[in-house]
């Protein structure tokens, strides 16, 4: 099993640009989570999906952030327009079900907004 796949691994962009992060969950997993990690705030849940449906997006910081899961094997997190304070490591994680506490994390995307 390839595990959770995220792309790109690193992204450097300028303020105001659109950023799209991608995630492929583990096959057969029904739940998908997007997290952001910074030194100051730790690991924050942004949004999670169950069976491709967004369940809770209360962690999405602003309207500049949006996430989609068009099918069971792909999800995107988009930031438009990006700001320097969005610089962080963004993790995607998947889980067999919403009731399963074990989440399998991808390697993360390190985003730097200049």
Partner 1 sequence: QKEVEQDPGPLSVPEGAIVSLNCTYSNSAFQYFMWYRQYSRKGPELLMYTYSSGNKEDGRFTAQVDKSSKYISLFIRDSQPSDSATYLCAMSAVDSNYQLIWGAGTKLIIKP
Q: Which residues bind partner 1 (CB under 8 A)?
A: 4, 42-43, 45, 48, 55-56, 91, 93, 98-108
Q: How far is the CB of 4 from partner 1 (least distance, A)?
A: 8
- Of 81 and 112, CB closest to partner 1: 112
Q: How far is the CB of 16 from partner 1 (least distance, A)?
A: 27
Asked if residues 24 and 5 have their Cβ atoms less than 8 Å apart, the reply is: yes
Q: How far is the CB of 44 from partner 1 (least distance, A)?
A: 8
- Of 37 and 81, CB closest to partner 1: 37
Q: How far is the CB of 42 from partner 1 (least distance, A)?
A: 4
- Of 74 and 104, CB closest to partner 1: 104
- Of 81 and 107, CB closest to partner 1: 107
DSSP string, the chain: ----EEE-SEEEE-TT--EEEEEEPPTT--EEEEEEEETTTEEEEEEEEETTEEEE-TT--STTEEEEEEETTEEEEEESS--GGG-EEEEEEEESSTT----EE---EEEEE-
């Amino acid at each position: 099993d390839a595990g959770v796949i995220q792309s790109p691994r690193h992204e450097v962009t300028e303020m105001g640009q659109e950023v799209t992060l991608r995630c492929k969950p583990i096959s057969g997993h029904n739940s998908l989570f997007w997290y952001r990690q910074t030194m100051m705030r730790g690991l924050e849940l942004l949004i999670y999906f169950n069976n491709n449906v967004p369940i809770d997006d209360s962690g999405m910081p602003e309207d500049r952030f949006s996430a989609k899961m068009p099918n069971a094997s792909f999800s995107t997190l988009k930031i438009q327009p990006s700001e320097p304070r969005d610089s962080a490591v963004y993790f995607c994680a998947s889980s067999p079900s919403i009731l399963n506490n074990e989440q399998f994390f991808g390697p993360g995307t390190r985003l730097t907004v200049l």
